[in-house]
Structure 1
Amino acid sequence: MREFVFTVTYKQGADDLMDVFISNPDLYARTLSCYATPRTMWRVDEVSGPEAALAEYDTAVAGLSRCSNLRGMGGCEIDWQHEVLEERPGRRVIYSKQSEDGGCRSIPYLVAHYLSDGVLFRAEQQRDEYVWRILAADSAAMSDVYDEIDRHLRDGLSLSFDRVERAPGWTGHSTPAPTDLPAEQRTALRLAVEYGYYEQPRQHSLQDIAEAEGIPTSTLQYRLNAAEGRLARRFLQTDRDGDRADPAPRMTGQSD
């Protein structure tokens, strides 16, 4: 088995919902469950982030249900319905049903069409990227999917594709997802990475980062230490108890 990765990058203004992710770097969404045929997709997504970002997300999602002219990444018209299954501070769980009309469809529909059964999917949204990770047989032919999407991609979107020799993250032994961390700890980690705190040699100190972002150094240090400790404990736990770790989110494909 091999992982195939499609990454769709959105320009600001190309998509109302992705604009919310672009404007809120700490907002993150991932599929918990997903099922697709060549025409319809049913999915459950977990969305996490600061409350202000989630409020923007809630507004955008509500607007999608009222919009009569939604377009998929391939330009097809979309019929979209949703229901909020869980709402609590820092987290939303959203069920949605989405159908695309004739024309060039989006990635999950095309994979269901060309490969039929036997594939698993995961999807993530953060910043300007919408990433689809596909677990399929080594011999799976993804070129038709890529070519069709690339030919019909909407304005303001770009597509990249990668084949990963191994399939990391599908065994339940992977590191925690971003949703496992509180929003302020996730922000501290993101800033540390962006400012090169973990680089060798270190590009910026915590004091540099705190001053640049207007955060007390002690607060940033506390949040970063808490995040690192949480990740380390989770990593060791999944390493010891891998057999009990949650399985990777699943998506199955079915052709008509």
Structure 2
Amino acid sequence: MQQATFRLAGGGAYAAATADTDVRMALWCNDHCDLLQLRGADADSVLAEVDERVGVRERVAEGDTTLAVTAACLRAESAGIEDVLAAHGCLLVPPLAYADGEKQVRVLALSPSALTGVYHDLRERYDVTVADKREVSAPDPGAPGVAGADLTARQAAVLRAAVDGGYYEFPRGTTTTELAQQFGLARSTLEEHLRRAEGKVAAAFAADR
């Protein structure tokens, strides 16, 4: 099976609410309402926009994380995506994620051609970026410690490239200079992304113990 994460610019009201904020929001749809998890200092402003659009029935804040239950489901925001996936026999892997004014969608496909078809159809409706693509034996819900790491899209991509390139093997299969060239970044910038990603994963792993 193939799994890919697509970033969709102009991904609807929830995506727009995160634009120009530090908030990362995850969404689980329950037909009659949505469960939202928001992380970031601007969570209140994002939730104010959500409340105006569909209503917020309940919210609980702890530290920099806020959980909220909406008064209604914003299913219309993802209906077009579900139609595209159904046309190619692909599955949506929850949760949906929103950050930087974009919707982030994880898609599971039985074949590379089906995933390619989804990508081309989505491009007709959105400005699409492929944030991650890999072969999997089962849907990846996020390993303990990693799911809560809250990596940015760039941090996740750099960390994935480091793992795939053998950076953590002995001897190393790649260097930060080579990884920086792969992303078109200065080596110091690449190393900063990598260190931040490693720190978040380590902190989330420790919190899970």
Same fold, judged at TM 0.5 (above)? yes
Partner of 2:2: 2
- The one-character-per-residue Cα deviations of 1:223-243 (angstroms, maximum 9, x if unpaired) are x99x93x742544687xx8xx
Q: Call closer, same or farther: CA 1:6–1:202 in 2, change over 3 Å.
A: closer
Structure 2 segments unaligned to the other structure (5+ residues): 156-179, 181-185
Structure 1 position 93 matched with structure 2 position 67: yes
- Contact 2:34/2:69 (8 A) holds in 1: yes
Partner of 1:49: 40
* TM-score normalised by the chain length of structure 2: 0.57
* Structure 1 position 147, deviation (Å): 4.2
Partner of 2:134: 165
Structure 1 segments unaligned to the other structure (5+ residues): 66-80, 181-185, 190-198, 207-223, 242-256
* Structure 1 position 174, deviation (Å): 5.6
* Structure 1 position 8, deviation (Å): 0.6
- Contact 1:121/1:135 (8 A) holds in 2: no
Structure 1 position 125 matched with structure 2 position 121: no
Q: Call closer, same or farther: CA 1:237–1:166 in 2, change over 3 Å.
A: farther
Percent identity, please.
Answer: 11
Partner of 1:136: 109
Structure 1 position 23 matched with structure 2 position 14: no
Higher alpha-carbon Rg: 1
* Structure 1 position 60, deviation (Å): 0.6
- Contact 1:105/1:149 (8 A) holds in 2: no
- Of 197, 215, 232, which residue of structure 1 is paired with 2:202? 232
Distance 1:42 1:64 in 2: 13
Q: Would you say how many aligned residue pairs link Structure 1 and Structure 2?
A: 174
The 5 Å alignment of 1:1-256 reads 1-10=1-10, 17-24=14-21, 26-31=22-27, 33-34=28-29, 43-50=34-41, 53-65=42-54, 82-96=56-70, 97-100=73-76, 105-112=79-86, 114-115=88-89, 120-138=93-111, 141-151=114-124, 153=125, 157-161=126-130, 164-167=133-136, 169-170=140-141, 172-173=143-144, 175-178=146-149, 202=188, 228=199, 231-232=201-202, 234-235=204-205
One-letter amino acid of the structure 1 residue matched with residue 19 of structure 2: I
SS at match of 2:141: coil
Q: Call closer, same or farther: CA 1:99–1:132 in 2, change over 3 Å.
A: closer
Q: Call closer, same or farther: CA 1:100–1:123 in 2, change over 3 Å.
A: closer
Higher relative contact order (CA closer than 8 Å, sequence separation 6+): 1
One-letter amino acid of the structure 1 residue matched with residue 46 of structure 2: Y
